[in-house]
Chain A
């Protein structure tokens, strides 16, 4: 019996198992057995990847940087969703706030998601830092540390930051573009009341990460099966809709520069230790 490729994933909602069951079943049917191992947080999963307990990790962008850091660049990003590429976050303000530029945020309160959320905290704070605004010095930071360790995947802190803006307790908040679109569509956001003040540079989100020593033939075989998943297959479509993608693409690391800059400037890993 062929040993399964072990793929790690962080879960916060049990419904995620439906996604992974569909992927697992397809791989087994394609004679490329895989199994999943679930973790409660990214730190544990990165440790497991580095220790060789799993072969592949479905990493958040921050977990990717952590894996790179822990392995001294000894890992590769082998695949990602089409929707992981070129994401942006928006800095949102109330239309009636009189805030028209980033500099107008001086002396104001900015709400963010959890401290380890790339999209709702780390990258937006870096954009403000680039504009000469330092948290705690030039503006007050109101951070919503919900489910720290899950790197903002659950959106809870990001949504609380938005609510804080809506309640008038904060003057700005940071929101991932996909959430901004969804929240306007489902009525969470009234576009007549809130508007985009600034947008971050594009960045990439999750990727499948392997250690450098993951065998090339195993990687090739695994990717061939992954890339055969197609939106035109109803079973795959169910998974892809839940996971938010139309197709799997090769991994790339060019989209993590601004997060790497943010992590360094904000001493994230030093403070996390």
Chain B
């Protein structure tokens, strides 16, 4: 019998996605009963028909955190009135993404910065407790923090 990697079980659930290339820089991702279009790895244009892969990652992280607040807040007796998360990500070297000959560095994300704007009827200290709990439970945050410099701040609004 092989031993488990620490923190996992042999029955660990697996999520699945299937990505089908359409044409050019566009693909469709299929997950369970959903599908979504992905346009490019990263885009430097003002607008595109669909989000890029990097934007999906940022959006997914924000969605993960928002859902985390929704799951955790009631356990602290906190009712959320409004919640918005703004995120920005920066690559180590965008020119490496373009394959620029002679550039150093890599096209991986170097930093992700985020601001969480939350309005809730609760003491600031309690909301911060909720945020700590969200961080502990977030799959994407816990994945990314191991390889990217994450910098989040909590802004409590009335």
Name the one of A12, A17, A18, A37 contacting B101, with C-beta atoms under 8 angstroms: A37
A139 interface hit (Cβ, 8 Å): no
Q: How far is the CB of A191 from chain B (nearest CB, A)?
A: 31
The bracket for how many chain B residues form the interface is 10 to 19
Partner of A40 from the list B45, B95, B97 (CB cut-off 8 Å) is B95
28 A-B residue pairs with Cβ-Cβ distance under 8 Å, sorted by A, are A11-B95, A11-B98, A11-B100, A12-B95, A14-B44, A14-B94, A14-B98, A17-B44, A17-B98, A18-B45, A37-B99, A37-B101, A38-B95, A38-B98, A38-B99, A38-B100, A38-B101, A39-B100, A39-B101, A39-B102, A40-B95, A40-B100, A40-B101, A40-B102, A40-B103, A44-B101, A44-B102, A48-B101
Bound complex: CA of A44 vs CA of B101, how far in Å?
8
Residues of A within 8 A of B101 (CB): 37-40, 44, 48
B95: which of A14, A18, A44, A48 is its contact (CB, 8 Å)? Answer: A14
In whole angstroms, what is the CA distance A227 to B128 when docked? 61
Chain A residues near B97 (CB, 8 Å)? 14
**Chain A positions within 8 Å of B103 at CB level:** 40
The yes or no answer to A71 lying at the interface (CB within 8 A) is no
Q: How far is the CA of A37 from the CA of B45 in the complex (A)?
A: 19
In the complex, the answer to whether B100 meets A18 with C-beta atoms within 8 Å is no
Asked whether A167 is an interface residue with its Cβ less than 8 Å from the other chain, the reply is no
- 16 A-B pairs besides A18-B45, A44-B102 with CB distance below 8 A are A11-B95, A11-B100, A12-B95, A14-B44, A14-B94, A14-B97, A17-B44, A18-B44, A37-B99, A38-B99, A38-B100, A38-B101, A39-B100, A39-B101, A40-B102, A41-B102
- Residues of chain B whose beta carbon lies under 8 Å from any beta carbon of chain A: 44-45, 94-95, 97-103
- Interface of B (DSSP majority class): loop
Closest CB in chain B relative to A25 CB, distance in Å:
9
- Considering residues A17, A37, A41, A44, which has the most beta carbons from chain B within 10 angstroms of its beta carbon? A17
A137 within 8 A of B: no
B-side contacts of A15, CB under 8 Å: 44
Name which residue of chain A comes closest to B91, CB basis.
A14
What is the CA–CA distance of A39 and B100 in the complex, to the nearest angstrom?
5
Q: List the B side residues contacting A38 at CB < 8 Å.
A: 95, 98-101
How far does the alpha carbon of A105 sit from the alpha carbon of B12 in the complex, in Å? 76
Q: How far is the CB of B103 from chain A (nearest CB, A)?
A: 5
* Chain B positions within 8 Å of A17 at CB level: 44, 98
List chain A residues, Cβ under 8 A from B102: 39-41, 44
Chain A residues lying within 8 Å of B45, measured Cβ to Cβ, are 18
Nearest chain B CB to A152 CB, angstrom units: 17
Shortest beta-carbon distance from A267 to chain B in Å: 25
Complex formed: what's the CA distance from A18 to B44 in Å? Answer: 7
The smallest beta-carbon distance between A13 and chain B, in angstroms, is 9
Complex CA distance for A37 and B99, rounded to whole angstroms: 8
In the assembled complex, the Cα of A228 lies from the Cα of B94 at a distance in Å of 31
CB-defined contacts of A41 to chain B, threshold 8 Å: 102
A14–B101 alpha-carbon span in the complex (Å): 13
Task: State the CA gap A14–B98 with chains docked (Å).
Answer: 7
- Complex CA gap A63/B65 in Å reads 50
**Among residues 136 to 184 in chain A, which have CB atoms less than 8 Å away from a CB atom of chain B?**
none
7 A-B pairs closest in CB distance: A40-B102, A14-B94, A38-B100, A40-B103, A15-B44, A44-B102, A39-B101
CA distance A202 to B4 in the complex (A): 73
Separation in Å of the B1 CB from the closest CB of chain A? 50
Contacts of A14 in B (CB 8 A): 44, 94-95, 97-98
- Which among A15, A40, A44 has the greatest number of chain B C-beta atoms within 10 A? A40
- Chain B residues with CB below 8 A from A12, complex form: 95
Interchain CA distance A160-B94 in the complex, whole Å: 24
